[in-house]
Amino acid sequence: MKIVSIVNHKGGVGKTTFTGCLGQALGLSGYRVLLIDNDGQHNLSSLVGTGICSPNLRDVYKAGDNEAAATFLKSVRKTGIGNVHIVTSSSGLSEGDVKDISYMQRCLAACGLGRFYDFVLIDNAPGLGMLQMAAVHASNEIFVPTELRQFAVDGLAEMEKILKETYPSAPPITRIIPNFYRATKRQNTFIAALHRLFPGRVTQTAIPMDSVFDELVTEGKTLFLHRLYSKGAAYYLKIMHELFDLDERKVWETMLEKRRKRMSDEARERYFARREEARANRERQESP
Ligand SMILES: Nc1ncnc2c1ncn2[C@@H]1O[C@H](COP(=O)(O)OP(=O)(O)OP(=O)(O)O)[C@@H](O)[C@H]1O
Ligand SMILES: [Mg+2]
């Protein structure tokens, strides 16, 4: 089992979108995935459609060592994709809820999550405080989505320095994923700068700017079921291949099959609903 924290101290760089879409892509490819929403904004809980549930991660932090694992397991909820589960957040979740940065690590270990999941993905609030550190300490890897702007690129080197100096036992930043990519000369300069600063750690695939990501939130859709033919979905499949060495073509076929099944299930449900409605109408007209 791999535990990955998605972190960037900068806000609005695509951490939640990346965590949600990557988790759903892994789930649709047959892996068992647990998402953890470690952000009081609870955007990930909204993205996967569960919203805030009770108990949730805040209750886990408050439970104390003896009750942490039991509360965590009680907090796990199913999402719309079969083998993707989530521990949701709560709007009150904040730095003050974390007393000890090793707490989540002890909790996840006590849960024995390896029996149930192949991947645990933790979405983090912007910043680098106690909340993020608790997640990072529990993780084997750190993925950092980033936008392609001067301050964002400069900020990453700073962020790595803070992580190393303040929390020497934290895992290293394993992958940096350029997001909001537009094929302009300026953006390519930032990509080249990232490769220079973090050799071997920047993904070759950059996630393109695509309005489909906003639609997912506003329309409650799943990228790979409702928008499989979008640019965004195609690039996510490439990213998965790079990050986890998954066969792009096989993943595509599996998703296509799941999408086909879902569409035919929905069409069947619509057909029976219409037939039932027509029958009820007929009965109403025939009754004296
Ligand atoms: N590649 C993309 N192209 C276009 N829009 C995107 C892309 N990735 C993310 N977005 C949009 O950008 C906005 C911010 O994304 P997201 O919420 O994932 O960022 P975040 O880093 O989690 O933010 P926060 O720091 O507030 O938690 C959202 O509206 C999302 O739909
Ligand atoms: Mg977020």
Q: What is the pLDDT of residue 10?
A: 95
Q: What is the pLDDT of residue 12?
A: 95
Structure tokens at 254: 């599996």
The preferred substitution site among 9, 16, 22, 230 for testing ligand 1, maximizing ligand atoms within 8 Å of CB, is: 16
Q: What is the pLDDT of residue 118?
A: 97
Q: Please state the pTM of the whole predicted model.
A: 0.92
- Gap from CA of 43 to ligand 1 centroid (Å): 10
Euclidean distance between CA atoms 25 and 211, whole angstroms: 19
Per the CB < 8 A criterion, the answer to whether 138 and 171 are in contact is: no
Cβ of 210 less than 6 Å from ligand 1: yes
Nearest CA to ligand 1 atom 6: 213
DSSP at 96: G
Q: What is the pLDDT of residue 254?
A: 85
Indicate the burial class of 1 (C-beta count within 10 angstroms; 0-12, 13-18, 19 or more). Answer: middle
Domain spans of the chain, in order of start? 2-249
| Integer CA distances (angstroms), 110 to 19, 52, 130, in order | 24, 24, 21
Q: What is the pLDDT of residue 42?
A: 96
Q: What does the chain come to in residues? A: 288
pLDDT digits (tens, 9 = 90+) for 75-89: 999 998 889 999 999
Q: What is the pLDDT of residue 139?
A: 96
- Gap from CA of 125 to ligand 2 centroid (Å): 6
Peptide bond into 208 cis (omega under 30): no
Q: 74-111 b/e with 16+ CB inside 10 Å = b?
A: bbbbebebebbbbbbbbeebeeebbeebebbbebbeeb
Q: What is the pLDDT of residue 169?
A: 82
pLDDT digits (tens, 9 = 90+) for 248-274: 788 888 888 888 888 888 889 899 999
- Gap from CA of 207 to ligand 1 centroid (Å): 11
The preferred substitution site among 205, 213, 219, 238 for testing ligand 1, maximizing ligand atoms within 8 Å of CB, is: 213
Q: Which of 103, 124, 122 is nearest to 61 (CA)?
A: 103
**2-249 fold:** Rossmann fold (3.40.50)
Average pLDDT for consecutive 10-residue bins of the chain (288 residues)? 96 97 93 97 95 97 96 96 94 93 96 96 96 95 95 90 86 95 94 94 96 89 88 92 86 85 86 92 86
Q: What is the pLDDT of residue 91?
A: 93
Nearest CA to ligand 1 atom 15: 14
Nearest CA to ligand 1 atom 3: 209
